[in-house]
Structure 1
Amino acid sequence: MELYVRLQELLKERNMTQKELAEATGLRPTTISELCNNVRSTINREHLVKVAETLGISDIKELIELRK
């Protein structure tokens, strides 16, 4: 199984760019890009919280999922 971050899909649904999210969260654009492309080997919990808060997500399952 793998952990999949649904950030790219969520940004599309909200008509938001990676750059806009980076500015709103204070995270580096590179960090947002790596999360969107699922290339990070570790995910910082604080980053997930900032992203979830910014996107108005209250259920973490909207942001991450386990895939086979």
Structure 2
Amino acid sequence: MVSIIIKVQDLIDERGLSQKQLAEMTGLRRAAVSEICNNLRTSINREHLEKIAEALNLSNINQLIELKVEQEE
């Protein structure tokens, strides 16, 4: 089984930011940031990911997204 993990909450925690601050930095709605941080969205707007990456000064998509592969037994 494969799942995609969005690591935004980890990134803002590392930087000492809040979801509210990230929303202000990106111009995204606080509810949208919360859903992304809590991996509740089934689809994420590419523009949102770009805004988050820019706000957090990321240089590699792997800092933002993780592909998790679980072995089936």
| 1:64 pairs with 2:69 | no
The aligned runs of 1:12-51 (5 Å cut-off) are 12-51=13-52
% identity of equivalent residues:
51
Secondary structure in 2 matching 1:57? coil
Runs of at least 4 residues of structure 1 off by over 4 A? none
Structure with larger Rg: 2
Larger helix proportion of the pair? 1
Q: Give the corresponding residue for 2:8.
A: 7
Distance in 1 between residues matched to 2:65 and 2:34, nearest whole Å = 15
For residues 3-29 of structure 1, the C-alpha deviation after alignment (integer angstroms, 9 at most, x for no partner) is: 100011001100000000000100000
Q: Which runs of 5+ in 2 are unaligned?
A: none
Partner letter of residue 12 of structure 1? D
TM-score (normalizing by structure 1): 0.97
**What root-mean-square deviation, in Å, do the aligned CA atoms of Structure 1 and Structure 2 show?**
0.5
